[in-house]
Amino acid sequence: MLRRLLSALLSSIIFCSILAYFQHTPIAERQPNTSYMSFSSLVFIYLIYATPVYVLGGIPCSILIDTITKRIFRRSTILFYLVNIICYTLAGMLLALLLFNVFEIEAWIWGGAAPALLYYVVYLLVRLLIRKPQSINYPWEESGKKMG
């Protein structure tokens, strides 16, 4: 669960930074007597809106998708990852439809599918980098078998 939360926060920061990069107007291109926001202000404002969507919408969808696909596929194969990519894309598009009432295909892709796929990639990287060390024996484990 901690990996999912970390993935959601990192994905939110990356996605908001990308959005702010495209919306930011460089100083050289600014018109006089016009108000512009700094890059960091844009990132912060986008984070206020995107982080709850990632945490409250993305994490439950991720748990649901992983539960379903792990029951269907016993081992991680290429087909497993393809099905996950499709499921994460559809979940992101569904969240965009429910939260933002979006019906345009371009808005579905940039507002739903791209953030969901970004979350999936970041989650895979976090899962790869943060693993439970095999040499640690926790009190609730006995000789490598989980109790309960």
- The per-residue pLDDT for range 3-36, each reduced to its tens digit, is 999 999 999 999 999 989 988 777 677 777 777 7
- Residue 145 forms part of a structural domain: no
- Residue 45 forms part of a structural domain: yes
pLDDT at residue number 5: 93
pTM: 0.78
d(CA 19, CA 119): 15
Give the model confidence (pLDDT) of 85-137 as tens digits: 999 999 998 888 887 776 777 777 777 889 999 999 999 999 888 876 665 55
pLDDT at residue number 148: 46
pLDDT at residue number 24: 75
- Residue 59 forms part of a structural domain: yes
Give the model confidence (pLDDT) of 45-71 as tens digits: 999 988 998 999 999 999 999 999 888
d(CA 103, CA 60): 23
Question: What domain range includes position 76?
Answer: 2-25+37-130
Tell me how many domains the chain contains.
Answer: 1
Longest alpha-carbon distance in the chain: 71
